[in-house]
Amino acid sequence: MVLPDPRLPLAGDWPETLHAPFVQQAKRFGDRVAIIGHSESITYTSLEQVSNQLANYLCAHECSGKVVAVYAIRSPALVWIILGILKARAAVLVLDSAYPSTRLLQYTEAAMPSMMLLMSEAGNIPNEMVGATATANILILPKTSNATRRLLCEYSESAPAIEVTSNDIAYIMFTSGTSGKPKGIVGIHSPPSHFMNWHCHTFGFNENDRFCMLSGLAHDIVLRDIFTPLSVGGTLCIPRQSDILPGCISTWIKKHSITVAHLTPPTGLIIIADETSLDSLRYLFFGGDKLPITLVETIYCVAPNATCINFYGATETPQAMGYFVCPKDKVNMLNGSVPVGRGIADVQLLVLTDHQKLAAVGEVGEIAIRSPYLARGYLGDERATSKHFVINPFSGQKGDRIYKTGDMGRYLPESFGVGPGNVEILGRKDNQVNIRGARIELTEVEKAMTTHPKVRQSVVVAVEREHGTCLVAYVVAQDQDSLRKEWRAYMQKRVPQFMVPSCLVALNYLPLTPNGKVDHSALPEPTYQSETAIAPLTPIEEKLVQIWQDVLQIKPVFVHDNFFVVGGHSLLAMKVVAAIQVTFSISMAVHEIFECPTVAEIGEKIVEARTARKRKQRIEPTIIVSRNKGQPLSFAQRRLWDWQQLAGKKATYKVSHFRQLFGPLNFSSLRSSFSLLVRRHESLRTSFPVTDGEPEQVIHPDVHVSFSKIDLQDLSEHARGQKVQFLSHDHARRPFDLEQGPLFRVALLRLEPEKHLLLLTFHHIIIDGWSKRQLLHEWNNLYQAMLKGSFKSAILPKISLQYADFAYWQRNSVPAEDEDKELAYWEGQIGGFIPRLCFQKNTARSIEQSFEGAMKSLSLHESLVDALNRLSQYTGSTLYMTLLAAFKALLYHQTGQEDVIVGSPNANRAQQQFHKVVGYFVNPMALRTNLHGNPTFLELLSNVRKVVIGAYNHQELPFEKIVSKLHPQRDLNSDPLFSAWFNMLNLEKQIDFEGVTCCPIEIPNNPAAMFDIALSICNKDCDGLQLILICKLDLFGASQMEDFLSQYHTLLAKVSQQPATRLNDLLLRNSHGSSQRYTES
């Protein structure tokens, strides 16, 4: 029979789920590679196990029967994520991270996912989506399968004990809608599963085939890319975005010996443009747009072993419902474009007349797809579902449905070079078009355009150009000149790039027919030529014009021509970017073409990039100051000196380092090598006498190094322990005399023949954490050299400048105009009222400064640290920013104060010449964040990130100059700008002296408290972190400090899983189960 008979019954009981064939192949080919990505390859067994772990996690969080969204990028992780969701009997909603946030927000608001899975490599989720995801649980997944398996180690690698049927919902995909909002389509397992089975058997795919993922992620085609190879035991190769750029994609296909590819015709045009021979290809499946016969002819030349198949379908069907195999010997007999052929198994392509009768051969009608394997319908829109999914008029049976596509077509006669009954697409019945493989409702683009406050009316039409179909927007608008400058950026924030018109034509009014409708035939032809025909003026512009002419195949191009107006689109933009990167040897992203669409604007970008590479740091430090007289203190030193005067004789600002040493130790070499250190670094030979009321730093040519050795071997274990406690406490607490020096002391306690305790303490004014690490490295090198008989064999970095040179440079290197800009920034950040954190409501603070402190510590397990690192990567933050945001959230919770300033140190070593210099460089940063309005943690983290980046960009202005400018109200009890301190320390890796194992230890004592509350976070030998909390004793008791650390730990655990939670809902609880604020103590 030539034409399909719509009265015949179709089989409709396909029993398999979408993922069932993969499970069978995983048992059969466990050790075979299932996925090849840029960063890892994954076997079938590993893919089965990691997807099972995720499925069990989702089941444990009650996601079965609900929607699970994944914020995604094309990568191997997407495969196991989709598998895990399906195995948990949940529905997949893929949120393509390349889409604008407003579009993704529409998806999430419509689908209401119960869980958000965030791929860390996809980047941070847009702030606009935070509110929409606040009710969903959030899990941030790492990049690799091994890291995911560690994250989900508590969950079984076996399949979850839940039954998934072919009638369960498998996914929700969105397509363009006439209402101005995208339409959600609800799909169940059986249709795509039925297609995969037909697909694999019809074309004979097997485990030796290699497939690729080239499709967009937000369409159901991504399921075809994933499950076709997994259904036969084949290998899925996943490219990076850079691999599919023009000039790269053919090379990538050849490198990975791809045999089967699904792609759109525009992508096919890019492949043939490379003129690379692709002998490995067996099948090329095209879909999503008209397939030109000329493209097929060229493909058969480039890929002589391939067969081209034209697929036809819609998201509503889903997958391909019609197909046509392009015969190599008859392609030239086809007319214009390749037909879409006939229906696949259990599918009929019906061409219906206006009277719902089957059209005759050659008669034009609307194409309807009849199959038991259609999507369930539109999400939350029964009206649209009943309009497009109708009962088959030829049978009248309720379960016999057809989908009315809106495409107009006809059955071809045999005279067109193919067998009779194949369907040819002729156009659209409605206001819908296909642009580069994506189906677009023009009405939706029009409604997005009219949301612009200057646009009163809008009509969008599709125009056929040499490079394919493009959109032109005709608008009636106010202030047309300014609209021309801003409309593209406005639309890019609201619709995907393929829906942004290439050209805008501003009119005073839209032409109308006598019936009052827009007269499309009277719309003027869009003008693609620049209004100001300015030729290129610079060599850069000349090269850019040539690139545009080559890519767009037009002449002439002028410097103010808009790339998208003169015929460009996203795929051609990729070609331009590739050419720019080669021509100018710079890195450029495709989005920059959209942001700067003219030759002149891109030329400026290139100049900026080149200038940035050549830009040097401000004045280089090269001056060596005189050592014959006292020199001024650096700003940091003067700050510490002033504070030390307030503290009097109290032991306040010191750095102690205690180490247990195991093994044979040569004390003579240890002492001699330390003396060499003192001779090498002037800071260790510096004192700070006062002349005429002002301190100055005096560098002594030599100082006596008192390196005492105390033998405690003869004491009992108990007495030895008490003596060690006393000596170490005294060593750490005993004051230094800043005017006399030396400002360090070192001692060695011998506990056993090969067990010692090294005590090393400095005044902070001559050293910081960076310097301490440098000293320890050099001491080890010198000790090894001394054991060999001469310090000259030590390998030490050359030091051309010393700390006194830094102090001079710091005071003379910043031009006045730069300093004014820096001060203006900081005044904008922390000027005006300075909030003070209040930790004690009922007890009046002493007027006199108190430094008595207590210390508590707590460990963070590496699994929690991994989760926090993923959260940091996902938000574009650092771990430091995430931990700081949590600290601020807890301070807000404990004090009730929304305006929080926290001090944090900056290493202040931007100049490489000072990297090896020992001294006190630290420059505090005052980081102010407002937590008003009960933000989510993601919102807080975003604000903290902005504040920290801003501070880093203005970090070199000395803190003292900021204080001097702001004139804050000061008292003896607190720092002028903040009373809370946060520091993240990268402790030195264990450095062992030659033949000796060293182990840093902490001696319990009451440390000095420079701030009301100070939290330091240190790395440990393992991958975890150590929290060290130091608080003032007159404000915090031991139980309060323990509660603070416990609540901080609880907060970190919660935000690592649910970062979209609002701060007041984080439910920080103390050990007694009730929320507590320190202000109530």
Residues 953, 883 within the same domain: yes
- The pLDDT of residue 1076: 46
Tell me the per-residue pLDDT of 414-473, one tens digit each, with 9 for 90 and over.
765 566 789 988 877 766 676 665 667 787 788 788 888 888 888 888 887 655 677 889
Residues 569, 511 within the same domain: no
507-511, 688-692, 738-742, 824-828: least confidently modelled range:
507-511
Evaluate if residue 3 carries a pLDDT over 60.
Answer: yes
Residues 786, 646 within the same domain: yes
Identify the domain boundary among 102, 129, 164.
164
- Are 891 and 1075 spatial neighbours (Cβ–Cβ below 8 Å)? no
Give the confidence band of 194 by pLDDT, cuts at 50, 70, 90. Answer: very high
Identify the domain boundary among 585, 614, 643.
614
- The pLDDT of residue 332: 66
- Are 804 and 688 spatial neighbours (Cβ–Cβ below 8 Å)? no
Evaluate if residue 766 carries a pLDDT over 80.
Answer: yes
Residues 733, 846 within the same domain: no
Give the confidence band of 1004 by pLDDT, cuts at 50, 70, 90. Answer: low
- Are 571 and 270 spatial neighbours (Cβ–Cβ below 8 Å)? yes
Residues 643, 760 within the same domain: yes
The answer to the question of residue 426 being in a domain is no
Structure tokens at 50: 């990691």
Mean pLDDT value across residues 985-994: 67
Percent above pLDDT 90 for the chain: 40
Evaluate if residue 1073 carries a pLDDT over 50.
Answer: no
- The pLDDT of residue 388: 93
Structure tokens at 183: 């339409």
- The pLDDT of residue 1002: 72
- The pLDDT of residue 377: 94
Residues 506, 570 within the same domain: no
Nearest to 471 by CA among 452, 488, 486: 488
What CATH number does the domain containing 1037 carry?
A: 3.30.559.30
Evaluate if residue 77 carries a pLDDT over 90.
Answer: yes
- The pLDDT of residue 554: 77
- The pLDDT of residue 264: 85
The answer to the question of residue 244 being in a domain is no
CA distances from 591 to 406, 427, 594 (A): 33, 32, 5
Tell me the per-residue pLDDT of 231-286, one tens digit each, with 9 for 90 and over.
999 999 999 888 887 778 899 999 999 999 999 887 888 888 777 889 999 999 99
Mean pLDDT value across residues 739-757: 93
| pTM of the predicted protein model | 0.68
The answer to the question of residue 16 being in a domain is no
Point out which residues pair with 854 in neighbouring strands.
1031
Tell me the per-residue pLDDT of 846-862, one tens digit each, with 9 for 90 and over.
555 567 788 898 999 88
Distance CA 361, CA 297 (A): 27
The answer to the question of residue 967 being in a domain is yes
- The pLDDT of residue 664: 92
Residues 78, 118 within the same domain: yes
What CATH number does the domain containing 544 carry?
A: 1.10.1200.10
Residues 958, 887 within the same domain: yes
What CATH number does the domain containing 503 carry?
A: 3.30.300.30
Evaluate if residue 844 carries a pLDDT over 90.
Answer: no
Give the confidence band of 1070 by pLDDT, cuts at 50, 70, 90. Answer: very low
Query: In 893-1012, which ranges are E strands?
Result: 899-906, 923-930, 980-985, 997-1001
In sequence order, the 6+-apart residues with CB closer than 8 A to the CB of 895 are 837, 838, 839, 1077, 1078, 1079
Evaluate if residue 110 carries a pLDDT over 60.
Answer: yes
Point out which residues pair with 117 in neighbouring strands.
70, 139
The answer to the question of residue 232 being in a domain is no
- The pLDDT of residue 333: 65
Taking the CB of residue 823, how many other CB atoms lie within 10 A of it? 18
Give the confidence band of 1074 by pLDDT, cuts at 50, 70, 90. Answer: very low
What CATH number does the domain containing 788 carry?
A: 3.30.559.10
Which domain range does residue 71 map to? 21-30+40-164
Mean pLDDT value across residues 15-25: 96
Tell me the per-residue pLDDT of 808-829, one tens digit each, with 9 for 90 and over.
888 876 666 677 888 888 888 8
Residues 563, 677 within the same domain: no
- Are 14 and 194 spatial neighbours (Cβ–Cβ below 8 Å)? yes
Give the confidence band of 386 by pLDDT, cuts at 50, 70, 90. Answer: very high
The answer to the question of residue 1043 being in a domain is yes
Evaluate if residue 1080 carries a pLDDT over 60.
Answer: no
- Helices 293-302 and 265-273 meet at what angle, rounded to 10? 40
Structure-model confidence comparison of residues 595 and 297, the more confident one? 297
- The pLDDT of residue 186: 96
Structure-model confidence comparison of residues 108 and 851, the more confident one? 108
- The pLDDT of residue 1072: 37
Taking the CB of residue 19, how many other CB atoms lie within 10 A of it? 27
- Are 384 and 183 spatial neighbours (Cβ–Cβ below 8 Å)? yes
Evaluate if residue 706 carries a pLDDT over 80.
Answer: yes
Distance CA 17, CA 92 (A): 14
In sequence order, the 6+-apart residues with CB closer than 8 A to the CB of 5 are none
User: Which parts of 343-441 fold into alpha helices (H)?
Assistant: 382-388
The answer to the question of residue 398 being in a domain is no
- The pLDDT of residue 996: 87
Give the confidence band of 1077 by pLDDT, cuts at 50, 70, 90. Answer: very low
Residue type, 110: A
123-127, 252-256, 294-298, 828-832: least confidently modelled range:
123-127
The answer to the question of residue 620 being in a domain is no
Tell me the per-residue pLDDT of 608-632, one tens digit each, with 9 for 90 and over.
887 665 544 445 566 678 888 888 9
Mean pLDDT value across residues 700-727: 92
Structure tokens at 222: 């991504």
Identify the domain boundary among 793, 820, 842.
793
Task: Give the mean pLDDT of the chain.
Answer: 85
DSSP 725-745: HHHHHHHHHS---TTT---EE
Residue type, 386: S
Structure-model confidence comparison of residues 412 and 846, the more confident one? 412
Residues 483, 587 within the same domain: no
Residues 780, 896 within the same domain: no
- The pLDDT of residue 108: 92
Residues 775, 884 within the same domain: no
The total number of structural domains that make up the chain: 5
Give the confidence band of 371 by pLDDT, cuts at 50, 70, 90. Answer: very high
- The pLDDT of residue 743: 94
Distance CA 837, CA 983 (A): 18
- The pLDDT of residue 644: 82
- The pLDDT of residue 1071: 37
Distance CA 949, CA 942 (A): 11
Give the confidence band of 1069 by pLDDT, cuts at 50, 70, 90. Answer: very low
